Amino acid sequence: DGIYMGGGNSFLLIQELHRLGIVKAIRESVKNGMPYVGVSAGSNVACPTMMTTNDMPIVLPETFDSLGIVPFQINPHYLDADPDSTHKGETREDRIREYHEMNDTPVVGLREGAWLRVVGDEVRLEGHRGALILRRGQPAEEFEPGARLDFLLA
């Protein structure tokens, strides 16, 4: 009745989906109307690539190409920089900006408790937390639950 893709390590998940030869079957099933629910790594692999994951590269998949169910990237578990932190390393926003040095695809930074519902040509941000949309060469945009993000499908 539907596909539920759980979490875990995105590198391992995409390696196994390709190894099992089921990427095309999943794409086609979803294209033909089968519901898809992706959680954490399962949301990463719904994207064109898994290049905006937060995971450690515990394996080297033959490709970073993912299911391509949506035409944008997702960064699940998005964390905002803590201005009171003594950590001086890269923030998630910094890392996504590095991604955008080489890629044009928009990235949705989904905070804990937020999710996207995509039905037809409609994308709605749901849950009790907001999300950031990060695009190459543009400032990050904040969106609250209930926002329509249909522009991500263009």
- Find the catalytic residue in 18, 29, 65, 77: 77
Whether 1 is a known active-site residue: answer no
Of 40, 43, 66, 100, the active-site residue reads 40
- Compute the distance between CA of residue 97 and CA of residue 104 in angstroms, rounded to an integer: 10
Q: Which run of H or E residues covers position 141?
A: strand 141-143
User: Quick check: is 40 catalytic?
Assistant: yes
Choose, from 18, 29, 55, 80, the residue flagged as catalytic: 55
Q: Could you tell me where the DSSP H helices lie in the chain? A: 10-19, 23-31, 41-44, 92-102
Quick check: is 43 catalytic? no
Q: Are 130 and 114 in contact (CB under 8 A)?
A: yes
DSSP β-bridge partners for residue 142: 132
- The residues annotated as belonging to the active site are 40, 55, 77
